[in-house]
Structure 1
Amino acid sequence: MNRSRADEGLSIGPWEVLPRLNVLRGHDAEVHIEPRYMDLLVYLAERAGEVVSTDEILGRVWHGQVVGDHSVYQAIARLRKALGDGAGERTYIETVPKRGYRLIAAVDRGSRPTAPSPTTKAHGSVPWKGLLLVVAGVALALYLAVQTEQSETTNEATTTIAVLPFRSLSEQENDAQIAAGFAIELADALGRLEHVSVIGPVSSSLAGAPHAARQRDLLQADIVVDGSLRRDGNTLRVAVALLDASDGRQLLSRISDHADNDVFAAQRRMAATLADAIRGRQGLPPVAEVDATPHDVQAYDFYLLGRYHRARRDPQSLHRAAAFFRDALAREPDFTAARVALATTILLSSYYDQMALDEAVAQATPLLEHVLQESPADADLLAAIGLSHYLRGSYGVAVDYLQRAIAVDVNNAEAWMWLGLAQRQQGDLRSAEAAFARVRVIEPLFTTAALNHANALSWMGDSGAADALLAALLDKVGDDAQLYRGRAEIALDHGDLAAAYRWSQRALAIDPQTPLSRANLAMVLAYLGRTADAARMVDGLHPASRAVQRYLDRLSATVLGLPDRDAATESLQTPPRANGAEIDWRLTHARAGMQRYLAGDMDVAHKQLDMALEGRIYPIERTDYDLLLCSMLVDAQERVGHRDEAVRWRERCGAELERSRRNGWQTLAAGYVGARLAMLDGHADVAREQLAKLVEKGFRNRRLLRADPLFSRLHGDAAFSELLDRLDATIDAEWQAAQSPAI
C-alpha cells in the first residue's frame, strides 16, 4: 500500500508511529515491527473507528496475494502485542465478530517522525551475541563509509561482503567451532540489511585464507571481514580486520575487549549510532532488533556449535547439530533460535539421513508451532515451515512460506534453495532455475546449490552449461565427490556413458563407503548393461535415505521389474509402506506400481499407480518421472479393461506433457513419454520415429526400452529391431571407451 501520506507523521494513543522505519516509539522504548504489519497498522489508522473486513485487509495490505485469513489474524495479534493491547479489554484494536477489526485508539496525524532514540531492548547477558552485533556494527560502518564515497547516482548499488570463519585463539574445547558458528550468525545479521549482499557461510569457509585476489576470484566479494576471538575468564577479546577484496588494502583494523557485564551496553551504542547513520545517509531502517537470546552463556555456545555442524549436511554432522541444539534448549527452554534450528535439522535428517519423514515432521512440528506463537514473522521459522511442507509434498504451501521468508530476509540462501526445489516440484522449472541462480549469488561455492542449478539447466536442455558450471566449481574447491556425482548424472542424462562412468568412479574414489557414491555408480553401471555389478554396488543400502532412494527409483526403471530378475536385483526392491507421510505413501506405491508394470502384472500395477497419482496436484518425484508413471497407468488400465479411466488419464498425461514443455522441461525422459503417448494413440510409426531421434540425442536406457510392455508390440518390427541393435552397439562402444584411460 502507499504510505506516503502516513509517512508525514502519525500517533496512535501514546505511540509515535514511524512507518518508513517500521518503528513504534513510546513508553521510553522502541519496538520494531515487520513492514507488512506496519502497512496494516497504517491502513487501520486511515480507517480509524471503522470496521475493516478481512477481505479489505487482504486486498489493500496483501494486494490480493493468495494467503489465508490466518495471516491477517497473526498480523493483528502481532500488532496487539507490539502496542501492549492486553487480552482483556482492548484499547487499540477491537475484533468485531463476523465483520472484521476496528482501530479504537485515538489517532493524531499531526506528529512528525524524529530520529529514533538510542534506547533498545537487551535480551540477556550473552557475550558472544553482544559481540556479534559490535562486529556487525563495524562492518556496517565501513559499508556506509564506502557508500558515502560513491556518487549520488550509485546509492542503490549493492556491496558484497564475505565473512570468513573467525579464528579462535583460546584453548578451550569447542572454541574453534564456536568461532565458526559466530561467523555464521554475523553473516546472518549483516544479510538482513538493504543494499548489502552477504556471501553465505559455506562459501566463505571454503574460500580459505583472506587473500584478496583469492576472495575476489572465488567469491566476487567487495569487502572481506576477517577476525579472531580470544576468551579469557569473563573477558572476550575480538580482533577484526576489513579488507578491500579488489587489492587487499586493509580498510579497518580494530581490537577491543568486552566484559560480560558491559557487552550489551556497547551493542546498544553501536546499534544506535549505525541506525542514525543509515537513516541520515541512505534512508535505511536501523539495525533490526536482536532475536531473543538466552541468559545462559553455555546455551549460546551450544547453539553456535549446532550452527557449525548443521552447515555440513552429512548424517553424522546433523546428529551432532541436533544434539547441540537440544543441549542449548535444555539450559534455556525459551531459546527461540535454537528451537527453530533444531526443527530444521530434524527435517533435513529425513532427507540426508535415514529418519522417516513422518517421524521428522512429528518431532519438528511442535517446535515450530511454539515459535509461531511468539515470532510469526521470523525468517528462519518461515523457511523451516516451508521446508516441512516441501518435504511432505505440499508444494504450493511451501512456496508461500518460503517467499514470505525471503521477503523478511532476502539473503536467506536456504529459503531460496528450498523455494527453487518446491517450484521445481510444481513443474515450474524456469522459476526454479532463477531461484537456484539466486542461491549461487549468495553461496557461490555451495556444492548443493550448484548441483541444483546445474540440474535445472540440464533438464532445460543445456547440458553444456550445466557441466561447465560444475567443472568451474571443481576448479575452485578441488575434488568433491558430490560435484563428480553431479557431472555423472548430467552426462548420463545426455547419453555420454563413458564420461558418466569416469565421473562416478572419481566420486567413489573420494568416499568409497558413502551410499550416495555407491548408488550413483550403480546407476551408471546399470545403463552400461552391467546389471550384476550394479546390484552388488547397492547391496546393503537399505534402509535408504531419501537422497539414496532417488537413485534406487531410477534403478527400478533399468534393473528392476524384469522377467529374468534374480536374487541380486530382488534385493533392490522396497515394500511399500501403508503409513507415514502422504508423499512417502505415494512414492512407495509409485515404485511398486512401476515394478509390477514392467514385470507385466497389470492387475496390481494399475491399482498401485492409481493410488500414487490419483488426487495429487503436483509431481511426486519430478515432472518427467510422473509423466512416465502416468503413461504406464494409461496402458495398464487399457489392458485390464478400464477404458473410460484410461481415456481420462490419457488426456491428463497429454496436457501435463505440454505444460511441462512450456515450463522448460526438455529431458530425454519427457521425450520418451511423448513416444509412449504416440504408441497409446495407435501411431506406432510416429512412436518409432520419436524413439530413433531420442537415441540420436543420447537416450541410453535400453533395459527399459526392451522391458517396456507398451513397445513389446514392436518387437517383430524390423526397424525397431535395428534401433535396438544400434542402441546395443552404442552402449557397448561406450563401455569400451569407459575402460580406456581418459585423455
Structure 2
Amino acid sequence: MGRVGSRKVPHARQGHREPRRSTVIAPARSRRLTRRQWAAGLAVALALGLAGLARAGRLPVPSLSPGAWLPEPAVDRDALEAISLPDVSLLDPLARKQVEAAYQRAVDLREAPSPDRQALGAAFGELGALLLAYDQPGAAAPLANAEALAPSDVRWPYYLGRVARLAGDFETAAAAYARAMALAPGDVPARVRTAQMRYELGRIDAAVPLLEAVLADAPRTALAHELLGQIALDRGDAAAAIRHFEATLALQPDASAVHGPLAEAYRKAGQADRHQAHLEQLGTVRPTIDDPLETALEQSKVGPSAWLAQADLALRNGNPVAAASLYEKVVRDDPDSARAHRNLGVARGQLGDLDGAVRDLQAAARLDPADGGVHQVLGEHLAQAGRAAEAEAAYREAVAREPANGAAQLALAELLRAGDRCDEALPFYATAVALLPTDGVARVQQTFCLVRLGRYAAARDDLAAAVANPPADPDVVDALARLLAAAPDDAVRDGRGAVELALALERKRQSADARETLAMAYAEVGDFETAIRWQTEAIRLATAEHQTAWLETLNANLARYRQGEPARTLWPPYVLAPGATPQR
C-alpha cells in the first residue's frame, strides 16, 4: 500500500544539541534577533513569569529540566526511513483496522507542517511494534525512526533487536540489544538477549560475564542457566553443563528441549542411564524469560486470535481470572471456537465454578467430538463434581477416540478403582503403564488393584520387570520391596531381595515410608533388632509430619517386631482403600 519517504539511513540514534541560553538579551536596537533567539527569549520570560505566579501561590512550581522550555529541533523528514504498510488482509478484522489506523497516524504526523518530534516518534514506534506483534514485515523501518526521534526510549532498540533476531541477523540484533542494555543496565531480558546474540556470534567470552551477572541478580532466570549450560557443554565441561541444565528444568519443567543437551552432558559424564532417561523426555519447548516488553507486544494485539493467545498465556501463568475474561470475549465473538470453550471450562474449574466448567467443556465436546482430550478434561471435571457415571462415560469416549492417550486410560482406571471395580480397571491400567512407562504412580496404583484382588505374584512380576529397566521409579522400588517383605503369599516373599532393595531406597530418600519398608525387610529375614530400630525412626518422622492415620499401622507393626513376628500388612488400610493414591 502507501509508501512514505525515500531516504534510508543507518539505525543510529539521532541526537540534537540544545540551543545555548543567553543570560543577557540584547536590546532590539543593538542587533536583530533571529526567530529562534526570539522564541528562546520568550520561553525564558514565560518561565520567569510562571515562577513568579508560583511563588505567589497561584500556580504549582513545575519541575523543569535544563532546556525543557526550549523548542526541540525540527524533524528532518529526509533523515527518516521510508515506511510501508504490508498486506494485512489475512489478519482478524479488528487487528487489520488497528494496524491500518497506526500506519495512517504515522503518515499524517510525518506530513504535518511542523510535526511534533515526540508524537511522531510514538506513532512510528506504535506502528513498528504492531507489525512486530502480528508477525508482519516492515517493522524495522518505523522502529528505527522511533529510535532516532526518541533515543532514550528502551523499547525501540529492544524491539529492533527482536526483529533482527527472528530474521537470523544476529549481528544487528546484538547491536540493538546492546543499545537497549545501555539505556536500562539492570534490565534482565536486555542483558540475556545481548548475551544470547553474542553466543550465537561465537563471542563466548563476552556472553559469559553477562549471564553470570544476571544469575547473581536474578538466580531464577532459566534462559540464562540454559545458555551457560550450552556454553559449558561446548567447552567440554559436562559437570557445569549438567548443573545449569538441571537448574533450567527445575525452574521450568516443561522446557522439554533442554533434555537433549542434558542427555548429551550425561553421556559425556559417563552416566548412560541418565543419558537415556533424558533422551526419552526430549521435546521442542524452549526455556522462556519473563519479558515485560515482549508481553506488552502480545497484549497490544486485538481480535479473537489474539485474545485466544493472550488467554492461553494467562492460563499457563496461573491467572484463571484474566484467562476466563479473555476466553469469554472469544466465545462472544466466535461461539464455534472449541478451543475457547474448552479452555474457558478449565479456567472456570480452577476458579471453583464446576457447573460452568462442565457446561463449557460439554460445548467444546459437541463442537469437536473427535478430540479425545476434550472428553478427558470433561471427565475430570465431572469426577470433581461427584458425577461419577457421567465422568466414566466421558473417559470411555476419550479412550475410544484416542486409544493412545495414556492419561485418559489412567484416568478411567483410577475412576473404576475408586468405585471398587478393580477387575474392570486392570485392562486400562495395563494400557496406561504401557503408554506411560515412566509414570511410577500409575504402576503402583495398578499394584493396589492387584493386591486387593489377591494377585500378589502378578503384582510382583510387573514391579520386578519395571525395576529391571533403570532408572527405576522410587515408588515402584518401594512397592516391590514391600511385596517381597510382607506379601501374604509365601511364594512371593523374598526377604534378602527386600533388604537389598530397601537399603538402596533408604540411601536415596531418608523418608518415613522408606524406613518403614526397610524395617519390614529386616523383620522378614529375622533381624528384629534392626527392624525395631528402623521402625522407630519411621514412627519418629511420621509423628513429626503429623501422619496420625499412618501411626496406627506403624505402631502395630512395631509391636509385632517386638514379639518376633514379621509384618503382613503391605500398606495401611486407607492406602489400599478405593480411590487412594500412593502418596501419604
- After TM superposition, the score normalised by the length of structure 2 is 0.41
Higher relative contact order (CA 8 A, sep 6+): 1
Which has more strand, going by share of residues?
1
More helix by share: 2
